[in-house]
Homo-oligomer: A and B are copies of this chain.
Amino acid sequence: MDAGLDILSVFKENGLFDYEVSEELVGGAAIDAVGKPLPEKTVESCQSSDAILLGAIGGPKWDHCKERPEAGLLALRKQLSLYANIRPIQVSEELVHLSPIKEDRITGTDFVIVRELTGGIYFGESRELNEENALDTCIYTKEEIERIMRAAFELAQTRRKKVTSVDKSNVLATSKLWRQVAIEVSKDYPDVTLEHQLVDSCAMVMITKPKEFDVIVTENMFGDILSDEASVLTGSLGVLASSSLSKTGIHLFEPIHGSAPDIAGQNVANPLSMIYSVSMMLRDSFKQYKLADMVDEAVRQVMKKDIMTKDLGGSYSTTDVTRHIRQELM
């Protein structure tokens, strides 16, 4: 988070972009400070902001607490109606050698996962029925599906005009509804091709033919699994950012990686996914396209000079990399 805010502050110092930041607690840090993972003050502060930058929320420290850090994130998504999680998956030429996938299969991969984020089994009734049984329910409404479909189709219109809707319609009622709504909504976007894929099949094609995809749209639980699967294809988890779009217009931006407890606090974590989260925010929430491009270009220059953290094969620290990007921008 420090790295992201540091880069953003360059534009304030330059007089290119003025803003205020308020820092609030969520997840584990909030549990430690006030005993719950999503304090009201955090929600209120988010609601009166123009955009939200999120750090990571959990770690083994809270594994055995009654209050769970994750509950804070889920409540934040629900209370702010962050219904569409957008995860671009791209392989950069400089980093393609880091991919676990053979180069000829992965080079040129460029797709986006659009994950429904406020419905499904994440937010249905979920409880122990008694000591012997537990239950979770997955509910989807037509309205929820339609909303996320429109996000996917509109995104596809700005790209290669193909939507892959992922479901398990050969088994689940919610997936049958999902597919039906996908077909209905697609009629409003005649320039976009819609294809359907079963979730198990999609998990395969993602590895064997990742170039096939343009925009993948899927429900919450499948999206959780598939977007994490997709994130390792490129071999550079540390450079991926994501946005969660809200109907209120207050969007959230965050790195794809989690709290990485194995390296936390050692000044070796890759700051690029947070810095890319900042450029996504500048672009999507503040329409500061030029500034966003400047950030992306600064990152590119620094990478070209092989100034990278360990995960990308370099030996620079988090603060080193950030400082070089800052210098590039000044």
Contacts and interface: CB of A to CB of B under 8 A. Distances in A.
A11 interface: no
A266 interface: no
A177 B122 CA distance: 16
Contacts of A121: 121, 136, 138, 171-172
Interface string A59-93: 00000000010100010000000000000000000
Interface string A86-127: 000000000000011110010000000000000001101011
A66 to B, nearest CB: 12
Contact of A173 (B135, B208, B222): B135
A207 interface: yes
Chain A, interface size: which category?
35 or more
Contact of A135 (B70, B137, B221, B233): B137
A47 to B, nearest CB: 24
What does DSSP make chain A's interface, helix, strand, loop or mixed? helix
Interface string A313-324: 000000000000
A242 interface: no
Nearest to A170: B70
Nearest to A123: B171
Contact of A101 (B102, B142, B224): B102
A143 interface: yes
A267 interface: no
Interface stretch (A148-156, A195-203, A273-281, A287-295): A195-203
A176 interface: yes
Contacts of A206: 229
Contacts of A138: 121, 135-138
Contact of A140 (B133, B226, B228): B133
24 contacts: A70-B170, A100-B102, A100-B105, A100-B208, A101-B207, A121-B121, A121-B138, A126-B173, A133-B140, A134-B139, A134-B140, A134-B177, A135-B138, A136-B138, A136-B173, A137-B137, A138-B138, A168-B221, A199-B225, A200-B228, A204-B228, A204-B229, A206-B229, A207-B207
Interface of A: 58, 68, 70, 74, 99-102, 105, 121-122, 124, 126-129, 131-143, 168, 170-174, 176-177, 199-201, 203-204, 206-208, 221-222, 224-229, 231-233, 237
The 3 closest A-B pairs by CB, nearest first: A200-B228, A134-B177, A203-B229
